[in-house]
Each structure stands twice: as structure tokens, then as C-alpha cells.
Amino acid sequence: MFETVLIANRGEIALRVARTCRELGLRVAAVYSTEDRDSSVVRFADQAVCIGPGPARHSYLYLPAIMEAARQTGADAIHPGYGFLSEQADFAEACEAEGLTFVGPPPSVIDRLGDKSTARAAMADAGLPLLPGTIEPVSDAEAVAKVAADIGYPVIVKAVAGGGGRGMQVVHEPDNLARQYREIRSTAQSLFGDDRVYVERYLPSARHVEVQVLCDSHGNGVHLGQRDCSVQRRRQKIIEESPAPGLPRGLVEQMGHAAVRGLLAAGYVGAGTVEFLVDEQHRFYFMEVNCRIQVEHPVTELTHGVDLVREQLRIAAGERLDMSQAELTARGWAIECRINAEDPARGFMPTPGRLTALELPAGPFVRVDTAAVAGGRISAAYDPLLAKVCVWAPDRPQALARMRRALAELTVEGPGVSTNRDFLLTALDHPLFVAGTHDTSLVDRLTDPHTREES
Amino acid sequence: MTSLIEPAPTDGAAPLAEALDEVRRSAQSLLADLGHRPRALRIRAGDVVVEMEWTEQQQAPAATPPAAVAAPPARPEAEPQAPPPPPGIGISSPIVGTFYRAPEPGATPFVSEGDHVRRGQQVGIVEAMKLMIPVEADADGRIVAVHATDGAPVEFGERLMTIDPQAG
């Protein structure tokens, strides 16, 4: 095992990783920008290094600064968390070059699976079902029109280098295709520096179901069940649960095995997630692979009793998985709600600012992952995630009741600061969500007055 | 693939938030350089103007102790705070790395205490991942103190030297 782990991240995930490192007896090295000087992980860490000013591109995304911090702290491993540099093959390569262990898959695997085109090809080769569409990027408007006509509208045009819900557009009408194709290419170029796009059929009422996988460096892989992340606003998840409600047991196993097979075939090492869309007929289609720990990982930890960050570190240290698929069964039900500092009444505009009061939910079977403290500040420089409130219960109705209770305990106060708490409560009470039959259109039903009546 | 961290800005919010941020950063660095607190401060960035006044009693409200994190373990950095830097203009490290006072080992340092420097003059080097990043004087003046030793690890923003601009 390692001696010192540098955590190349901030906020709740940096603190969450630091806690497991401490439990494993590893020295914790944190990095921070000038914005985060007073952050929780800086206080928690054994050592902390200031790596740059607030803007992420000059600090958390700035490779030379992170590598210098690793050198200064004598780290022998780097945990990238999620976002920032976590899925940059260059970063994993730089770690290798400096003799550091990158806690994640090998750079070549990140490269292949981070590019949606090669990822789709790899998963198709491993026998995973794909939505009708192109595997190779489509390079001109005419070709796109032909493909779209073949697979039928609506289609979704996605950036090959996209991810995290950015760099994609749904095209409903052939008349709009040429314009939207141009738009998405220019967006992709500016966001990812890569304007290649591909096309696939768009499922308006699909569910977003993902499978958590662990692969060690000895060719063993297991899955830890599913997470349903269908409650999304503009493709950003806000409520996640494990297991996925209402899926037949056979399908759960089929998807789990497909995910493990796909990642092992790709040479994956570490914790990874395979995202699928599931349609009304319970057919599933591969969507993408996330080569990192995910924001919503706690719901899997709660249902499976496994510390995923501990497993990441053990795997990175070359140890073997010490669990078999047969031992891994989901117990009960877990739900996560993402509390964002944003104002639903003003188009979900972020509301950064100082927190004058913060009371977090607690009590039986409640877990809150946060780096926020009363007196601290939600920075405008980063994403507005304030806390992840997670609950566990023996079944879904009890988990829902527990989540309502927990959210009601939350108090966040500060000048100009508001949260999406009440919006989450509304979503939790929606008949479709209560019934577990909702799909990715749920939030639109809540926010779009046009469709509100029919819900 | 950094979208989780930097979500697409909501219409209209980002420029304002950025401007506010800019104002706050400018204020922080200005106050840090002053060494004492003025009675009033007015800063403008784009359309945003912030004005502040301090009362004579400058006690900031005590921050509520953190609830989410247990008492931190003893850290090497947690030693008593260093004495406040001398008044003057600080030259800060532009990056985390290793500080060098001379262009190469054994060579004469770029500057020494007492030297007069011009704004923009190179006074040191910080090496980060084999990148040699020049450190430059922020103002005309006299070097009154060199805080970092040659070859020392430095963090971003760490004060390396202090210039007395009056002595320029």
C-alpha cells in the first residue's frame, strides 16, 4: 500500500477520499487554490499545498502545479476524484512518468473509453448492445442527414469528446439538422477542442441506469449492482438511487455481466461505471463509460457495504479483489439527493456566497457528504454542489420517507444563498417518482409549465 | 470532461459572478499588499462596484467552528504564524515549485537585499516540472527582504521578497 496519497481535487470528494486514506493509515496530502484556503480538506489533511489562484485552469486543472505538489509532499499515489483531471489520459501518463501511481485506469484505457467513438467500438466488440447510430464520427452534414434518415427521428448528435452531459443536442426535425449539426460541432470544438460528432437514435422516455464495476490488475472484475440516475436537469443528475426500481431481476444480472465483460475486454483497472439507457420495453443500450469514482457512488456503498475508494486504492496498489460476485448482493435501498447552491426560481442560477448557518441532516441511516461548514463560503469559481444527502432503508418506500425527513432537517442560510432542497422534495413526491416509473423527462415535467398539467 | 466541476453557466449569471470574483480577488491582493486596513475601499470591475468601510474596531465576526470535520490532527504547518511581513510590496511566487535566486547553481543571485529594482525586472526563478518560470518585481523600489531561501519549495502566492517602493 502507499504511504502518502495526494488528492488532486477539492470539495466534498477531496474530503471523502481523505477520510478513507486516514482509515487505511495513509498520509493525506491536499492541494488547494487560493479560493479554498480555509476548506475542510485543507484542515483535515496531514499536509496541504497551495497550487494556484481560484480559476480551475490555473490550479486544479494545471498539471505542472499538481505534479509539483506531489513532489513536495513526497506522495507516491495521486487520487484524482471526479471532474478536473480525473479522466485526462495526459495526467495519468504524467503520473507514470514521475513514478507515481495514478488511482484510476491506465492512460491508454482512459484514452480509448473517453473518446465516445472508440468506446462504442470497443463495447460493440465486447457484445454490448448499442443504440442505432454511427460508431465512426460523421464528418459532413450530408452524411449526418443520411444516417438520421436511416435510424429515424428524433436523433441525438453527440460530441465524441463530450461527457458529463455536455456537448450534445437532440434533433427532432430534419429541417433543423444542418443548423444543429453545425452548432454542436462548434460547441464541441470550444468545449473539448475536438469537433468530431456522432449520431444515434434519441430515446425521449428512457431511463438512465448505470452499473458500478471494480476490476483489479489481475484480470478479475465484479459489478456492484445498478444506480438509477433518471432524475436529471439538463443532463445533470440530481437524484440517484440503488438499486434501479422496477427492473426485472434477470435484466439486472444481464446488464451487470455486460458491464464487467465490456470493461475487462477494454483492459480496465479500478472503479468504473458503465452507463446504459433502458427503454420502456426494458431493452438496454450502452451509452458511455466513466473512468473515475462518481459523484453518486455513496448509494452503491450503502447498498453493498463496500467502501469504493478503499477498493480503488487497494486495486491501484496492485492488490487483488477480495470479494466474489456471489458475495455481492444489494441490501435494501439507498437514495442520494444533490443539494446545490442554486435558485430554482431563477432558472437554477448558482447562488454562491457565505454560509451564515448550516445544519445538516443526521440520525439513523443518513449519510451526508459535504465540505461545507457554517461560516465558510460557496465559491463562484466551482460547481455549486453543496452537499450530498444519502439515506438507506430496507425498502424504497421507507427510503423515500427517510429522505423527506432528512431534507426537512437541512438548514442553509447566507446572504444570497439558496438551494434546490424544495425542488428535490417536489420531485420526490411526484407520483411517477413515488411509483418508480419515472424516466429522464421527469424534471422537465416539473419545470416546464407546458407539460406540468399532464403530470 | 470537467463538466461536473464547471457546469455550463446559467444565462446572465456567469459574467456577474466572474466580475464579483474579480473584485474580491483584487480587493484581497490589494489589502494583502497594504499591510494595514484602510477606512474605505472602492473597487470596480466591469459593471460591478464594491465599496466597503471599516469601523475603528476591526474585529471580524468569529467564524463558527467547523462542524463537519473532527478536530484536525497536528500539522507541521499549524505552527505559530510567522511574524507579519514587513510593510511594502510583496513579490509572490507565480506557481508552486522550487525557488531559485540565481540563473544557475553558483551564479550571482538576480538580486540581494538593498538592491534597487525596476518593475518587471527578473528577481528569481520558480521551477515547476522542469518549467523555469521567471519571478519579476511588481514595482520599482528597493528589495528590503528576501523571505525564501535558494532551492526552497514554495507554494503559489507565497511571498518571496518585499520591495519598498518609497525607496525607488
Low-confidence ranges of chain B (pLDDT < 50): 1-14, 55-79
Q: Which residues contact B79 (CB under 8 A, 6 or more apart)?
A: none
The pLDDT value given to residue B11: 43
Q: Is the pTM of this model over 0.90?
A: no
pLDDT for the residue A190: 87
Interface confidence, given as ipTM, is: 0.77
Beta strands in A202-246 (DSSP E): 207-215, 221-233, 236-242
Q: Is B72 on the interface with A (CB under 8 A)?
A: yes
Residue type, A202: Y
Instruction: List, by residue number, the catalytic residues of A.
Output: 292
Query: What residues have CB less than 8 Å from A22, skipping those under 6 apart?
Result: A28, A44
Residues of chain A found within 8 Å of residue B98, distances taken between Cβ atoms: 68
Question: Taking the alpha carbons of A437, A443, A444, A448 in that order, is the dihedral positive or negative?
Answer: positive
Give yes or no for A376 touching B (CB within 8 A).
yes
CA distance linking residue A87 with residue A216, whole number of Å: 18
| Cβ–Cβ gap A43/B72 under 8 Å | yes
Between the CA of residue A414 and those of A341, A351, A358, what are the distances in Å? 11, 10, 9
Contact A93, A107 (CB under 8 A): yes
- Asked if A74 reaches chain B (Cβ–Cβ under 8 Å), the answer is no
Note which residues in 329-348 of chain A have CB less than 8 A from chain B.
342, 347-348
Contact A51 B1 (CB under 8 A): no
Q: Which of B2, B128, B158 sits opposite A65 (nearest CB)?
A: B128
Question: What's the Cα-to-Cα distance from B125 to each of A59, A117, B94, B98, rounded to whole Å?
Answer: 19, 43, 10, 8
Cα dist from A108 to A46, A87, A118, whole Å = 32, 11, 12
β-bridge mates for residue B89, sequence order: B163
Q: All 3 cell numbers of residue B164?
A: 519598498
- Look at residue A402 in the predicted model and tell me its pLDDT: 98
What's the pLDDT score for residue A167? Answer: 85
Using CB atoms, which residue from B20, B21, B63 is nearest to A375? B63
At residue A227, the pLDDT reads 98
Cβ–Cβ under 8 Å, residues A24 and A313: yes
Residues from chain B contacting residue A65 (CB–CB below 8 Å): 95-96, 128, 156
For residue A1, what are the contacts with CB-CB under 8 A and spacing of at least 6? Answer: A24, A25, A26, A313, A314, A317, A319
The residue ranges of chain A whose pLDDT is under 70 are 164, 449-455
pLDDT, tens digit (0-9, with 9 covering 90-100), for A266-319: 999 999 999 999 999 999 999 999 999 999 999 999 999 999 999 999 999 999
